[in-house]
A and B are shown apart, each in its own frame.
Chain A
Amino acid sequence: MMKRLLCAIALAFGLGGPSALAQFEVNIQEGVLKPTPIAIPNFESIGVDPEVAQTISDVVRSDLESTGLFTITPEDAYIQTDLNIEVAPRFADWKIIQTDALVVGTVEQITRDGNELIRGSVRMWDVYGEELMRFEDSAGRQVSGRRFTTTPEDVRRIAHKIADAIYSRLTGEEGYFDTRIVYIAETGPKNARIKRLAIMDADGANVRYLTSGAFTVLTPRFSPEAQQITYMSYEGGTPRVYLYDLRRARQEVLGNFRSMTFAPRFSRDGNSVLLTQATNGNSDIYLMDLQTRQSRRLTDHPAIDTSPSMSPDGRQIVFNSDRGGSPQLYVMNTNGTTRVCPSGGRDIACRITFGSGRYSTPVWSPRGDLIAFTKQSRGRFHIGVIGIDGQGERLLTESYLDEGPDWSPNGRVITFFRERAPGASPELWSVDLTGRNLRRLPTPTDASDPAWSPLLD
């Protein structure tokens, strides 16, 4: 009894047991954001021209590197070269070269029903966790790898889809590589400019022209839900808003407005189009239902109201108006009801920008929390973002002319066009939401007014 009592006393005084173990606690609030090192060795070609595998590997690497969120481990740093998609790599070999993730892939040719197809497959490894990184497939299932099949003409799309899968797995956000950008291709002298509607893959490949250039077209916008584009065209003399169906290659005038219409933009569900109608020097915003083709007037003010953009939930719009004396951004309920403004008062439309300068071309983020805009201040142009309550304005770019922002479908990147100096050619650019990774998008001609498509099916 005495012995047991001594044991209990010993425990109580911390001479043994887990409770005696000292425990540290390390709290870290902010990290050091830096690109994630990722290795993407050339995909193994199986029964297919190695050039095809090389192309797909190159496009995947290029897509990911273009985000600024990843650094691609150079091939000459590899220690292990005998990779196999069905075999775990030697993790130690990849830790030495400080690679966080390793992508192993194959490209093969298969035949189905007499059709020759290309199939790309990938798996990704967490080098430090020493485990397979599972993906979520298009049906929402957890899978150990991704595999896409298509015709030989579309191998780049396999690469974009693979890059989207990797991006999504590593960032937690949807990718944006398997998308397109529609823009205005400009050729000819400044005083006789030919402006055509053009479309290209998000990385600048596969440029195609949708209009011949006989009529000037401006401000194209992609439908978030369908392969449709809306834009303004001078065809027929009077500027009007048109709707273009990419699959059917047909365009039509939108609505039966008596006067000019311009600055169109789809609602987030793609079922309606916001546009501006100018009558007798005054312009107001309308919402047209694409099914019924009925339009509803949203603003009724003697000032110029234009450039509307709808919130993702469809309940609000942001637009540009000079009703306060200079072009500023305003937010209103789509149903036209009175709302409480950030300034404290109540009004139908609430001003959200109060900085010096002129604000224009607002575009609501697909995430819903930010509005991108063009700002002109002190002779310079900026692309910026601001909270929907007017808080947290951040200018992301600055140049002689930066204009026309539009969001990537995941709300992570903004594309716009830039003229670097007076008389310089317009170019397409993109910038990350954080203001980092400012990049020029290659186009074969001068280019302006870019608009991003949703992810392709």
Chain B
Amino acid sequence: MLRGLPASIIAHAAVLSASYLTFPYWSSSSRTYATDIQAVDVSFAEIGEITNIAPRIEPEEESAPPEPEEPEELPEEDPIEEELPESDQDVTNIDEPAADAEPEDVLPDFEAETPDEPEETPEPQPEPDLTPKPPRDPLSDFLNQSESTFKSEIETRRKRPEPTPVPAEEPPQTALRNAPQPVDSRNRRGAGERNGNIARIEAILYSRIFPCWDGVADLPYPERLNVRMKLELNQNGTIAELTLVEPRRRPVGSSPMGTAIDRALRAVRKCAPYNLPIDEYENWREGAVNLGPAFTPTNPR
């Protein structure tokens, strides 16, 4: 056995050397491919979970801003009609600005070249399958779907990274101690520890977000300015995703609702990261944050 090993190594080396030297001269017709592909276990990670950093546009990569497409119009030299006041009038002339600040020029868009939105190409219609299919069994379909979902969930849990250590910005215990105690039984979905824990999480989040939100009391018709958001958190308390639920998007232009949405999103972002008990991550992985006069407070003060 031990004697055979050097011989085997030498033989393999010889074959490999010969292959290396003769490889360029092989014809395409004589090329062969390995068929025994070795399976390599690869685990995928969510890019969003590890690279939550917005790309910064480096100056050297920045191309020169494009010139405005349309030539800028010269503000009209608005010659004031220099009529002298009538002699019997107690009026002196006023120096009107020679040229108003209008018309407004067009500032080139920030992105030097904004690619057009790719047009959605319709998915190719699958060829119609003319072969007769066996009648579908609803129970079988349901069970197939269940099995698939179950496997997927098991796989997801297996791949989920270990909890990352929470930055020690503020001990969770302090937040817990300072948090107002929830009294809203609406959120206690049934008795039990689990819902009690959720209520505790809500109290912590309330105490963190509350001072960061400017409210809408100073805006016109504040009773109409209610914003619902969905908040998804990473295990280290940073925001994985924050999305508008209602309204679904910010209205175009300047408006009280636009300002209310800006303030709501900013409040949640500004107060992050949220230091919450890691062992209760499932209780605060995602949830709703609703800011506005219409929402009964989670924790009335």
Contacts and interface: CB of A to CB of B under 8 A. Distances in A.
A249 B282 contact: no
A170 interface: yes
Contacts of B99: 150-151, 154
Given A17-B149, A199-B94, A249-B83, A27 B72 contact: no
B107 A11 contact: no
Nearest to B152: A16
Contact of B150 (A7, A26, A27, A142): A7
A172 B255 contact: yes
Interface string B52-63: 001011110010
Nearest to B59: A87
A456 B100 contact: yes
A11 B150 CA distance: 7
Contact of B97 (A21, A149, A154, A250): A154
B189 to A, nearest CB: 9
Interface string B262-287: 11011101100000000000111111
Nearest to A121: B107
Interface string A25-52: 1111111111010000000000000000
Nearest to B112: A86
Interface in A1-26: 1, 3-5, 7-8, 10-11, 15-17, 21-26
B172 interface: no
B30 interface: no
A238 to B, nearest CB: 15
A30 B293 contact: yes
A117 interface: yes
Contact of A26 (B96, B197, B206, B216): B206
B93 interface: yes
Given A24-B198, A24-B284, A172-B255, A147 B101 contact: no
Chain A CB count within 10 A is highest, among B147, B151, B290, for B147
Nearest to A208: B94
Interface residues of B, number: 102
Contact of A27 (B57, B105, B143, B296): B296
Nearest to B263: A31
A144 interface: yes
Contact of B209 (A3, A28, A132): A28
Interface stretch (A133-141, A295-303, A331-339, A355-363): A133-141
Chain A CB count within 10 A is highest, among B94, B106, B109, B205, for B94
Contacts of B101: 148-150, 154, 157-158, 161, 178
A400 B91 CA distance: 33
B105 A4 contact: no
B81 interface: yes
Chain A CB count within 10 A is highest, among B90, B197, B198, B293, for B90
Contacts of B202: 24-26
A452 B18 CA distance: 94
Interface in A203-238: 208-215, 233, 235
Interface residues of A, number: 97
Contact of B143 (A8, A15, A88, A91): A8
A129 B266 contact: yes
A210 B92 contact: yes
A244 interface: yes
Contacts of A173: 219-220, 254, 256
B10 interface: no
B269 A153 contact: no
A113 B99 CA distance: 15
B182 to A, nearest CB: 10
A32 B214 contact: yes
A215 B90 CA distance: 7
A212 B90 contact: yes
B146 A33 contact: no
Contacts of A150: 75, 97, 99-101
Given A8-B143, A154-B100, A250-B85, 12 more contacts: A32-B211, A32-B215, A33-B218, A129-B265, A143-B106, A144-B110, A157-B100, A170-B262, A172-B258, A173-B219, A210-B91, A210-B92
Interface of A: 1, 3-5, 7-8, 10-11, 15-17, 21-34, 36, 69, 82, 84, 86-88, 90-91, 100, 112-113, 115, 117, 119, 121, 123, 126, 128-130, 132, 135-138, 140, 142-151, 153-154, 157-158, 161, 168-174, 178, 199, 208-215, 233, 235, 244, 246-251, 367, 434, 456-457
16 contacts: A15-B153, A28-B289, A30-B215, A30-B217, A31-B216, A32-B211, A34-B214, A100-B266, A144-B109, A151-B75, A161-B104, A233-B90, A248-B81, A250-B85, A251-B89, A367-B220
